[in-house]
Amino acid sequence: MFSSQFDPSQRAQAVSTLATDDFDVLIIGGGVTGVGAALDAATRGLKVALVESQDFASGTSSRSSKLIHGGLRYLEQYDFKLVREALHERELLVSTLAPHLVKPVGFLYPLYEKVRERTYVGAGLALYDALRGFQRSLPGHKHMSQKTVSEIAPSLRLDLVTGAVKYFDAQVDDARHTMMIARTAARHGAVIATHMKCESLIKNGKRVTGAKVRDAQTGKLISVNAKATVMCAGIWSDELHAQFGLKPGYNVAMSKGVHIILPGSAIHSNSGIILKTEISVLFLIPWGNQWLVGTTDTPYTSNPNTPQATREDIDYILEQANKVLQPKLKAEDIIGAYAGLRPLVANKKDSLTTKLSREHTVDRSAPGFVSVAGGKYTTYRIMGKDVIDLAGIELRRIIPESITEKVPVVGADGYFALVQQTNFIAEKSGLSAATITHLLNRYGSLINEVLEVIEDNPKLSKALDKDLPYLKAEIYYAASHEGAQSVDDVMSRRTRISFEAPNHGIELAESIAAIIAPVLGWSVKERKDSVRAYLEIAELETSSLGISMSSV
C-alpha cells in the first residue's frame, strides 16, 4: 500500500503532506533512534511523520564501530541488563530483522598470561554466551592455544600473546542500516523527509502541538501538527531543549570516538581482534578487504556538527594496536579516518564520560513533548519502543503494543533463499557471483530493483572504480530509491567511499555527481555546487588530521 522508495517526487509529496495533515506522532531526528521510533509508531497503526535536518544517519549513526554487540566491557561494569538486552537484539537482527545487513564477526581476545587470565576471560565469555538466551545464531566462545593463534592471526606478537579466546558478535554498515529502517517505516506509512530542520515548537498554552520545520531545499517554514512530538536528536538534545525553552530531566554529554581504516594487507589475521586498553577497548574489525581500527573515548565540548579525527587520536590508536602487532601499523598506511560523538546520558555534570551508563533515558519535558537519548546503536529498537510507549500517553487513547520484533527491515524478506540462488541470479544478470553476493549484502531482496536499473541502462553494470566494490547502478539507485540528495550523501553514507578510498575518494566526486544529476534534476550549477560541498568536507577532515595518509 505504501512505497519504500525515496526519490525526489516522494520527498515533494512528503513535504506537502507534512504541511496539510494532522499526525499522531512527529519525530525529530533521522538517526537510528528516530527511524526506529518511526517504524515502531507506524507499525502500531499510528499516523507518523519524521523530519531529519540533514541526511539519514548523518550524526552519530554513521560513525560508530558498526558492531551489533552485547558489549563485553559492560560485563566488567556488571551491567548485565544492558548486555542481555543487547544480545537479544543482536540475535533478532542477525536471524530475522536484517540478516542481509547484519553479519556475524569473530574476535580473538588475546591472553598474555597462561592460567589466571584465561580463567577470568573464559568465565566472562561463558557468561556473555549464557546471556544470549536460548536462540543462538552465532557460535559460542572457544579457547585457543598459542599455536592456533599464530595460524589465525600471524600479526599478533607471540613473545607477548600466550593464547586467546575467540568469541562472536555482529557487524553492520550503520548508515545503510539506518536508511533501510527509514525505508521500512515509509513502507508502513510513515511520512519522512530529510533536509528538514525543526526550528521551534508549536504550543497551545503549555501543550506542545507540533513543530515548525524548515525545508532546506526551498527555505520554506512549515508547521507540522502532531498530538505528540518525539525528539530523538542524540548529541543535539541539550541544544534543542534549550532552544525550545524546555527543561529535561537529563543532560547529554559527548564523548569523541575515532576510527582509522587500513588496507587488508596491514594486519595478517583471519579474525577480528579485541584489545583491552587502560580506559576501554580497541577493536580491529575486518571491513570488506580492509580493517577498521578504533576507538578513542575522550570528552568533547566543541561544535557537535563537525567532530574530527586529530593527529593525537590517530597516534593513540596506532600506539595501542602496535603494542601487540608485528609488523607495526604505520601512519602512512592509513586510508581514511572518521570521528563520531557518543550521546551519553548524564545526570551529574561532572561525571567522567567513560564511566557513564550506556543505557537510554526517556523523558517528558512538556505535555505533548517527549524525548529519548543515550543507549547504543544495537538497542535502537528498544529505545524506539520505549519512547513511543511514553508518547502514547499524549494520544489519550489506548495504542497497540510494539510489534517491531516481528517486522523485518525491507530486503530481509526472501534473503536466505536468494543467497542459495546466487549463481542462478549471476547467470541471468550477466554479473559475477561475487557481485551478486555484494549486492545481496547491501540490498537483500531489493536486489531486483538494482538489477532493473541495470536492465534499463546496461552501462550502469560497470564498476564505479576498479579498486572499489560499487557498481555505477548503486550510485544511481542511491538517488532514485535511497533518498540521497547530494554527492556527500552518496559518498559518506549510501556507500562508504569517503573513508574506504584514499584521499576521501575526491577524484570520484565528479563521476558520482554525473550519475545522480539526472535523477535529482540538477542544473550544471547544482551539480558543481554538490561536488564542491563534498570537497570542502573532505578538505576539512584531511586538514584536521595533520598527517599524509595512503596515496593522499
Amino acid at residue number 148? T
Taking the complex as a whole, how short is the minimal distance between the CB of residue 447 and ligand FAD, in angstroms?
Answer: 26
Please say which residue, 69 or 472, places its beta carbon nearer to ligand FAD. 69
Please say which residue, 232 or 513, places its beta carbon nearer to ligand FAD. 232
Please say which residue, 60 or 155, places its beta carbon nearer to ligand FAD. 60
Residue 343 binds ligand FAD (CB under 6 A) = yes
Please choose, out of 54-62, 92-100, 140-148, 505-513, the segment that lies near ligand FAD by the rule CB under 6 A.
54-62
Please choose, out of 115-123, 181-189, 335-343, 388-396, the segment that lies near ligand FAD by the rule CB under 6 A.
335-343
Residue with cell 579498486: 467
Residue 341 binds ligand FAD (CB under 6 A) = yes
d(CA 362, CA 231): 10
In the Cβ-directed half-sphere of 451, how many Cα atoms lie within 13 Å? 19
- Report yes or no: 193 and 6 within 8 Å, Cβ to Cβ: no
Q: Which residue is nearest to ligand FAD (CB)?
A: 31
Among 42, 198, 284, 501, binds ligand FAD (CB under 6 A): 198
Among 296, 294, 298, 316, smallest CA distance to 253 is for 298
Residue with cell 574476535: 107
Residue with cell 536466505: 416
Residue with cell 557537535: 304
- Report yes or no: 250 and 345 within 8 Å, Cβ to Cβ: yes
Among 31, 286, 392, 483, binds ligand FAD (CB under 6 A): 31
Taking the complex as a whole, how short is the minimal distance between the CB of residue 139 and ligand FAD, in angstroms?
Answer: 20
Please choose, out of 4-12, 341-349, 483-491, 533-541, the segment that lies near ligand FAD by the rule CB under 6 A.
341-349
Residue 392 binds ligand FAD (CB under 6 A) = no
Residue with cell 508518547: 391
Among 248, 257, 336, 469, binds ligand FAD (CB under 6 A): 257
Among 84, 143, 197, 438, binds ligand FAD (CB under 6 A): 197
Among 26, 51, 484, 513, binds ligand FAD (CB under 6 A): 51
Taking the complex as a whole, how short is the minimal distance between the CB of residue 306 and ligand FAD, in angstroms?
Answer: 13
Residue 340 binds ligand FAD (CB under 6 A) = yes
Among 18, 25, 26, 32, binds ligand FAD (CB under 6 A): 32
Taking the complex as a whole, how short is the minimal distance between the CB of residue 293 and ligand FAD, in angstroms?
Answer: 12
Residue 29 binds ligand FAD (CB under 6 A) = yes
Among 196, 175, 184, smallest CA distance to 11 is for 196
Among 26, 240, 410, 479, binds ligand FAD (CB under 6 A): 240
Taking each continuous run of H as one helix and of E as one strand, the counts in the chain are: 19, 18
Taking the complex as a whole, how short is the minimal distance between the CB of residue 375 and ligand FAD, in angstroms?
Answer: 5
d(CA 107, CA 347): 34
Alpha helices in 132-173 (DSSP H): 146-152
Residue 236 binds ligand FAD (CB under 6 A) = yes
Among 492, 503, 478, 481, smallest CA distance to 533 is for 492
Among 30, 163, 210, 248, binds ligand FAD (CB under 6 A): 30
Please say which residue, 51 or 487, places its beta carbon nearer to ligand FAD. 51
Among 308, 378, 445, 461, binds ligand FAD (CB under 6 A): 378
> What does the block give as the cell for 190?
510513515
Number of residues that bind ligand FAD (CB under 6 A): 40
d(CA 311, CA 331): 10
Q: Which residues contact 143 (CB under 8 A, 6 or more apart)?
A: 118, 122, 163, 164, 165
Taking the complex as a whole, how short is the minimal distance between the CB of residue 307 and ligand FAD, in angstroms?
Answer: 8
Classify residue 429 as exposed, middle or buried by CB count within 10 Å of its CB (0-12, 13-18, 19+): middle
Please say which residue, 33 or 155, places its beta carbon nearer to ligand FAD. 33
Residues in 56-85 at the binding interface with ligand FAD, rule: CB under 6 A: 57-61, 63-67, 69
- Report yes or no: 468 and 499 within 8 Å, Cβ to Cβ: no
Residue 222: beta bridge partners? 213
d(CA 230, CA 221): 19
**Share of the chain residues as helix, strand and coil, in percent rounded to the nearest 5:** 45, 25, 30
Please say which residue, 128 or 470, places its beta carbon nearer to ligand FAD. 128
Residues at the contact surface with ligand FAD, assessed by CB under 6 A: 28-34, 51-54, 57-61, 63-67, 69, 197-198, 232-236, 240, 257, 295, 340-343, 375-378
